Structure 1
Amino acid sequence: MLDLGTTFLAAVERDPQALAIVDGEVRLDYAAWHRAISSVVAGLDASGIRAGDHVVGVLRNRWEAATLHWACQFAGVILVPLNWRATAEDVAFCVHDAEARAIVYEDAPAKAIAAAGLDEAVLHVTLDVDRPGAQRFSDWLEFDAAPVQPRAGADDWSLMLYTSGTTSKPKGVPRRHRAERAAAIAHIAQNRYGNGARTLGVMPLYHTMGVRSLLACALLNGTFVCLPKFDAAQALRLIAAERIDNLYLVPTLYHDVVHHPDFAATDVSSVRTLGFAGASMTDGLLKTLQAAFSPDLFVNHYGSSEIYTFTIEDDAPAKPGSAGRSGLNQMVRVVPLDAADAQTRAAPNEEGQIVALLAGDEAFEGYWRRPDADAKALRGGWYFTGDTGYVDEDGDLFVTGRVDDMIISGGENVSPVEIESHLSLHPEVDEVAVVGLPDERWGRVVTAFVRRRGAVTEAELDAWCRDSRLANFKRPRRFVFVDEIPKSPVGKLLRRKLTAGDYTPAP
């Protein structure tokens, strides 16, 4: 298996004049981008940062962030990309946990970084703001450097992603060059991207979906079109202007794009492949996207930071809710919820926990200095995902939620995803999230939080659920109309905020 530096160098040699990256007025071919990457490696060298060191990046999807990513791959430096919206507490934790030598950041997170109380041993490198004692990334780009050659091997560490840490401190997920490259190759094959693919680079580069899009472009001499901060109108402008041919987004972003007032007047005919991951997509949104784009391929990719691909469903509208079957580099099964190992499988249509083989080419090898997390998730060569689901009679996987999201109401296990998908089909429902709220009689009562598209009442939604194939015990007993459904920066539903009462009721 090649390392990632050699992977990029191969792209330069294949087609040095192919357009590699676009960010506003910046348009670089592979040869020019390699020169910029070489300069940044020289900047790392001059700063005393060596192979095996950790460098934290707190950047939006701009060309400098992508350049830093590739520079670290050439130099053998381990990149630690963080959410640019991270709090001072999270920045401080991750920088110290990773023992980072440097932090590279722009203006948006500068206040949080200043408040993080980082000691003088951490070098600050800034893009847009000046800080006493800090270096400027623009100065690194000015280095007159010889074309850099790869210094890392396939078994060296590439980067360390941090999990979101919704219930505890974030966990570091170190990944090797070979696992990153294998995941990118699988991403290309499973989405059937062609040479020269043009990708909208909107999924953040601190997220596994964004990293995969970036790496896949280099393998295909494709173009990575940066969208630093998601904006549906700007996304539509870039799709039309740059003739984007594939979209790989979380469902929330698709929802915002297809419902934007500019969508009808935008030429999106260049888009032939739709892919989504990060969360389940409702039946209603699947139908809307299929009608709006008429894509050649519509892929549901189910995976994680730890193991990029679990399963693939390459005709998502044909079987709504299906996550498909194991990906090219993986083997996945469902075990009973109380299973201690992966040897006993759940029966067809029996809900259990989803587990994935750790021997897969895309898999991580354990969390960064978290033996407690390893003991919980890594058992007998399998990764226990914490996701719930079932395999139907055809052998297709359906993901129903998280073990922690399971609603136990009146002694029955209720998964929220099926209810959300049904409610999403109501023409006056824009978005919906289902959680279990405390109830003296039922333990937890199934509650639907609804953002309305039009006028609809609780009684009408209850009737909609009664006249469906939902089992009676799964029907929501309460409906709450809200202004917004809370989500993470990458569009993941934050049910914990709803259960904690952190929402704004609709008038």
Structure 2
Amino acid sequence: MNLARMFEMAAGREPHAIALIEGDRVLSYRDMHAAVNRVAHALHKLGIGRRDRVMSLMKNRQQTVVLFWAVQKVGAVFVPLNYHMAPGDVERCILDVEPKLICFERATRNALRSIRLPEKPIYVSLDPDDGDITWDELLRNGMPAFEAAPVEDDDPAIMLYTSGTSGHPKGVPKSHKNEYVSTLSQVIQNRYDRTDVMLGVMPLYHTMGIHSYLAMAFLNGRYIIVHDVTEESLADTLHFHTVTCLYAMPTLFRRLLQSGRVDPERLRHIRKIGYAGASMPDTLIRACFDAFQPDVFLNHYGSTEIHTFTTCTYLHEKPGCAGRPGINQLIRVVAIHPDARPEDEVEPGDVGQVIAYMGSPEAFKGYWNRPDLTRQAIRDGWYYTGDLGMRDPDGDLYIVGRMDDVVVSGVDRVWPGKVERVLEHHPDVQEVAVVGQHDDQLGHIVTAFIVSHREDLTPFELDRFCQRDGRLSDFERPRKYVFIDRLPRDASGKVIRRALVEWAE
């Protein structure tokens, strides 16, 4: 089933239902379908066809959503790019994907100015007097009816670029089959239905953003799009609209609860909440239960490469738990060595590297133009995630860090996630990240970066807290504490540990 047909079905099923709200503009599924057809027809006239890449350098806007569906209708590949990347990475991605058309807006045009492409793409701008053609001209040049081009299930539908926390961003092509199945699993695992209203805060260049939107589109649900996520925009949106579901990064939940701008009663209308992209501290999980009182609270552990690894909906019993494999997945925890095979599983309670089954219909086939990285990540039919985890006696998975983040101190290995989970329970610790800082004698020492709302919090207090907790061995307790205002994070909400290491050294 291709994505364009899924949208046509939704528009035919509930043409007058509200599809999208953007500020004071409301679009029905019929309105959206007409705009999609016009843009698809205009793209076709411009020579955009099957497997051509169309890049979006736009914020979350109704134009971004319309372009997504129009690209599907002509059989091309939608490539939304994170315009917050460093200019060098933006250029690298554009040169890598070789888009035939780039759609941009005023806020993102500077990213294009210095790039020299072998073959100039068509530039479409949301603003007049910019680019080769404007968005309004694109709409005027198209017709309100357009027959979707035939595509195969395995044809690429979308290509996302990973955040590149451990190197340069890499392209992840996902097929129509991948996205169809991933969206259905998103619907099932979060228990969404056609009455739901999604607060669209996750960027549409991220797998969390695209699947939270597609879940609503498949169901004829309602999607409220937010351009710039600020405390004011969140408070206004929740004041004027009754939102029933929110799928976001832990940092956004923290912002919502700490802002003081949002009426607590409005939060309790949000019955289904889910988070992904980073771990959520136990204290924040408990705060979310208290504030939202949700029917569903999901920890979704997955990646751009494979949408779902595991899910957990019993966080009230096991805060921070990643849970068990998703409905389309098998997961194993195998030994920590470079040549570990899928059969080298570790015992419950032991830390190992997490691998996921590539036979899942949610799984990508390999990285764009990077066979070297593909061979490194996919071995013996399994995807090596690079994450470290352990299963408890019940078989539930806990993530304790990344392979690259392990701190080797003397002869001992320290898992940052284990130390962080202890420190997160201190009442005065708002956020924490643990890294290894170079040391001439031990190789590395365990260093904890602390964000605290208490100015007089001391390393001595934190060390005593770790001692009394009892879960950390002496060698696992931090040797050094650094107090900072905020942790550096990428667009996915993940802590950029290498920035902390560089800062400490």
1:142 to 140, 143, 150: 140
Structure 1 partner of 2:327: 328
Structure 2 partner of 1:379: 379
Structure 2 partner of 1:458: 459
Structure 2 partner of 1:496: 498
SS of residue in 1 equivalent to 2:323? strand
Amino acid at match of 1:205: L
Higher deviation after alignment, 276-285 or 135-144: 135-144
CA positional deviation for 1:186: 0.2
Structure 2 partner of 1:468: 469
Higher deviation after alignment, 265-274 or 351-360: 265-274
Q: Is the 8 A contact 1:432 1:448 kept in 2?
A: yes
Q: Is the 8 A contact 1:284 1:421 kept in 2?
A: no
CA positional deviation for 1:225: 0.7
SS of residue in 2 equivalent to 1:388? strand
Q: Is the 8 A contact 1:283 1:422 kept in 2?
A: no
2:267 & 2:471 partners in 1: Cα distance? 36
Deviation string, structure 1 residues 431-466 (Cα, Å, up to 9, x no partner):
111111111222111111111112311111111111
Amino acid at match of 1:33: M
CA positional deviation for 1:119: 4.9
CA positional deviation for 1:254: 0.8
1:165 & 1:95 partners in 2: Cα distance? 15
CA positional deviation for 1:137: 1.3
CA positional deviation for 1:265: 5.2
Q: Is the 8 A contact 1:11 1:30 kept in 2?
A: yes
Q: Is the 8 A contact 1:91 1:116 kept in 2?
A: no
Deviation string, structure 1 residues 250-281 (Cα, Å, up to 9, x no partner):
11111111111213556222100110000111
SS of residue in 2 equivalent to 1:170? coil
Q: Is the 8 A contact 1:53 1:100 kept in 2?
A: yes
1:363 & 1:502 partners in 2: Cα distance? 37
1:196 & 1:7 partners in 2: Cα distance? 18
1:345 aligns with 2:348: no
1:421 & 1:236 partners in 2: Cα distance? 30
Structure 2 partner of 1:440: 440
Amino acid at match of 1:324: G
Higher deviation after alignment, 256-265 or 403-412: 256-265
Deviation string, structure 1 residues 124-173 (Cα, Å, up to 9, x no partner):
11113633x52111211223513233323322210111112233332111
2:226 & 2:259 partners in 1: Cα distance? 17
Amino acid at match of 2:135: F
Q: Is the 8 A contact 1:92 1:118 kept in 2?
A: no
1:130 & 1:418 partners in 2: Cα distance? 54
Q: How does 1:101-120 map to 2 (within 5 A)?
A: 101-119=100-118
1:67 aligns with 2:87: no
Structure 2 partner of 1:368: 368
SS of residue in 1 equivalent to 2:266? coil
Amino acid at match of 1:258: L
Amino acid at match of 1:109: T
Q: How does 1:75-474 map to 2 (within 5 A)?
A: 75-119=74-118, 121-128=120-127, 130-131=129-130, 134-151=132-149, 152-264=151-263, 267-338=266-337, 339-455=339-455, 456-472=457-473, 473-474=475-476
Q: Is the 8 A contact 1:354 1:386 kept in 2?
A: yes
Q: Is the 8 A contact 2:54 2:99 kept in 1?
A: yes
Structure 1 unpaired stretches of 5+: none
Higher deviation after alignment, 338-347 or 120-129: 120-129
CA positional deviation for 1:474: 1.6
1:321 & 1:411 partners in 2: Cα distance? 29
Amino acid at match of 2:426: H
CA positional deviation for 1:117: 2.7
Amino acid at match of 2:431: E
2:267 & 2:68 partners in 1: Cα distance? 30
Amino acid at match of 1:465: C
CA positional deviation for 1:471: 1.8
1:199 & 1:486 partners in 2: Cα distance? 28
SS of residue in 2 equivalent to 1:90? helix
Report the aligned-residue RMSD.
1.6
2:467 & 2:363 partners in 1: Cα distance? 43
Structure 2 partner of 1:53: 52
1:330 & 1:273 partners in 2: Cα distance? 23
Amino acid at match of 1:207: H
1:154 & 1:484 partners in 2: Cα distance? 44
CA positional deviation for 1:120: 5.3
2:187 & 2:334 partners in 1: Cα distance? 30
Deviation string, structure 1 residues 88-107 (Cα, Å, up to 9, x no partner):
32222112211211111111
TM-score, structure 2 as length reference: 0.96
Deviation string, structure 1 residues 368-399 (Cα, Å, up to 9, x no partner):
12111011111111000111111111100111
Amino acid at match of 2:355: V
Amino acid at match of 2:468: D
2:250 & 2:206 partners in 1: Cα distance? 15
SS of residue in 1 equivalent to 2:355? strand
Deviation string, structure 1 residues 31-51 (Cα, Å, up to 9, x no partner):
110001111112211221112
Amino acid at match of 1:379: R
Higher deviation after alignment, 366-375 or 43-52: 43-52
Q: Percent identity?
A: 39
Amino acid at match of 1:416: P
Amino acid at match of 1:469: G
1:66 & 1:502 partners in 2: Cα distance? 42
2:287 & 2:33 partners in 1: Cα distance? 41
Paired residues in the alignment total: 501
CA positional deviation for 1:240: 3.5
Amino acid at match of 1:479: Y
Q: Is the 8 A contact 2:163 2:492 kept in 1?
A: no
1:14 & 1:347 partners in 2: Cα distance? 50
1:196 & 1:158 partners in 2: Cα distance? 27
1:364 & 1:281 partners in 2: Cα distance? 27
Q: Is the 8 A contact 1:86 1:112 kept in 2?
A: no
Q: Is the 8 A contact 2:278 2:492 kept in 1?
A: no
SS of residue in 2 equivalent to 1:322? coil
Q: Is the 8 A contact 2:40 2:142 kept in 1?
A: no
CA positional deviation for 1:502: 7.4
Deviation string, structure 1 residues 284-304 (Cα, Å, up to 9, x no partner):
111111111111111000000
CA positional deviation for 1:67: 1.0
Amino acid at match of 2:411: G
